[in-house]
Every structure is written in C-alpha cells, then in structure tokens.
Amino acid sequence: MGEILGVGLSHFPGFVYPDHEMSGRVKQTVTSARVPEHLKDPKNWPAPMQAEWGEDEGTTFAGKHRAQFVSGVRKLREAVDEFNPDVVIIFGDDQYENFREEIIPPFCVYILDDVESHPHALGRIGEPTPNVWDEPYDLVMRTKGHPAVGRYLARKLLENDFDMPYAYKLNFHVGLGHAFTHTIEYLDYDRKGWDYPIVPFHVNAYGSSVIRNRGINGHLFGDKLRDPDPPGPSPRRCFQLGQTIARVMRESEWKTLLIGSSSWSHAFLTAKNSWIYPDVDSDRQLFEYLSSGNLEAFRDLKLPQIEESGQNEVLNWIPMIGAMYELGQQPTYCDFLESYLMNSCKCNALFPPASMR
C-alpha cells in the first residue's frame, strides 16, 4: 500500500519579488476607481496594516514575512526529501491561464509528460520583473510529469463516481499556471533541484469570477462587470474528492505527496474590505481549525462564506485536508503568516504518515 504525505503552502507571487516590491499589489489596487478615496490614503487603513506599511512602504515587514515563509518551506522540503515520493499531486487553481471561455471544469487531472514552463515570463501586470534569485526572464523550468499516475488517478476517480475531466496538453503559452510553478519554486527556494515527478490537479477555486474578471484584476480595472459566472465546486465536494484520492492512492504502488497550494483570504477578492486587505479574522478561524485538528470544519464551510471572505483559493487546500482526514493524519507542524498588507495571509502545514512521526 502506498504511503501519503500531506503538505500545505502558499504560491503567493510576491515572494518571487525583492522585498521592496512585495507590497506592489496594494499600490496597484489603490489606483482603481472602485476603491473608496479615503482608503487610498494609508492613514485610513487598519492599525495593523499601517504598522506593516511603516516608514518604508512595507519593505521591512516584507523581509520578516519572507523569512517566516522560507523557514517554513525549508521544513517542508526537508520532510519531502526524507519521504522521497514517487509522485507529487499538486492541487492548484487557474486564474484565466489554461482554462478560459472554451471550458471551465470544476476539477481536471493533467496527464503530462515532461513540461517546460517559463515562471518569470510574466509579472504582476504582465511585464516580467526582477526576481529574488536573479534568474533570467526567459528561464525554462523543466518539470517531470507522471502520466501513469495521471491516468490511474483519472480512471479511479471516474470509477468512484467523480465525473473527472482530464487533459493531455496545456493551452497557457508559458506552460503551467503560477499556482504550480511557484509551488515548486518555493519548495526549491534554495535551488537544490526538483526531480520529483508531478501531477498537476486543477481546482476551479475562482468559480463565480474566473471569466467575469478575466484574470485577477478585471473587477478592479475592467470597464463593466457582468453577472457572476457559475460557481466553483463546494468545499464538501473538494473534501470528498480528497478522501477518494487518499483511498485510491493508498491502494496504489506509489508513495504520494499531496500538496494544497494557496494563500488563504486575498485582499483583491475581499469586496467587504474594498479589496485593500484580506479577511484576517476568518483566516485566524481557519488556522484554529487546522492547528487543533478539526479538519472536518473545512468540509462544512459554505461556498458563499468562502467567497465573501476572499478565501476562494482555500478550495485548493481542502482536497489535501480531506485526504488527511480520511487517513487519520494530523498536522505535526503548522504556521500562520498573518498580514494585512501583503495581499493575503498564508499558512505552512505538514501531515506526515505514521512511519515518519
């Protein structure tokens, strides 16, 4: 029977940029005509956000935020190397990258051979920008796929009453979407190399806004918003998906690493905060569920509640959490990275199998 390791982390694009560029999202957001005038002045932000902004527009806080994150992902990478998985299944969203008007599946298993991606080809507003590794804009990231696991997983999910789409090719011109490339980049933050084959697993976390916004900034800088798109999958269905994946991968011959990849509440999705800062209180509640081992609380979340709090991408975590619940695995490490300024709160988490405890 195959062992399963569970990991959660963020793919926050800001960690790609130098510290003085990390607060660039809020600097961009305040230029939107949809943001109230009084919130364009940092003096009117919540006190914790003003403290993070400080005297240097967030540069000092960015260094602390990065250091906490990198310390966490180094712990995760150490556990991954100790586990030495045969395959890595990454649950990640698509932000109008590979899936567009032609089709928006709730889930999709990518059945891919080796993949070439260009993780630095696009910046926050489209143009490439310098990165903390001083890597060239035209860098090619070569990632091994695992077609046998992809086919097995799609087949088994279909046999278990999941009407599971699958894809043999990518449409995005730079390769894998950033939910997948940044996940690998951060787990390889020290550039040791990444040889573990992956199966990217798409989750439609953006649901009611993925086409309407045509990317993450459409609601702030687009001309006219149309009615919401159909929703993404429910938290309960994502949780059930993870439970099923745990069962079928445990029955397989492969040692499997399951990764839930995302930040939690995102400022640019949190309309009730005028898109300036995330729903920190709701994220604290999720972290309390996680750190106390109350995993079924993620199953019982409601999609409108998630969208109201800008926590759409938590849907990427829920299949991994559902799998850990199915296996009876509890987190032995989890860390909450709170921020009002850096667009989102983040979390690092590790769920080792019994053999690693």
Q: How many Cβ atoms sit within 10 Å of the Cβ of residue 67?
A: 11
Residue whose entry in the numeric block shows the structure tokens 């053999």? 355
What digits encode the pLDDT tens for the residues 54-104? 999 999 999 999 999 999 999 999 999 999 999 999 999 999 999 999 999
Average pLDDT of the segment spanning 192-211: 96
What Cα–Cα distance (Å) separates residue 50 from each residue in 20, 148, 278?
A: 16, 50, 14
What digits encode the pLDDT tens for the residues 237-254? 999 999 999 999 999 999
Alpha carbon 69 to its chain's center: 14
What digits encode the pLDDT tens for the residues 93-141? 999 999 999 999 999 999 999 999 999 998 876 678 899 999 999 999 9
Q: Is the dihedral of CA 39, 339, 178, 325 positive or negative?
A: negative
Instruction: Judge whether residue 218 has pLDDT over 80.
Output: no
Element (H, E) at 83: helix 59-83
What digits encode the pLDDT tens for the residues 139-167? 999 999 999 999 999 999 999 999 999 99
Tokens, residue 89: 């299944």
pLDDT score, position 129: 86
pTM equals: 0.97
pLDDT score, position 224: 64
Please check whether residue 203 is in contact with residue 238, taking contact to mean a CB–CB distance below 8 angstroms.
Answer: yes
Instruction: Judge whether residue 223 has pLDDT over 70.
Output: no
| 174 or 1, greater pLDDT | 174
Mind listing the domains of the chain with CATH numbers?
4-356 (3.40.830.10)
Average pLDDT of the segment spanning 4-25: 97
pLDDT score, position 220: 84
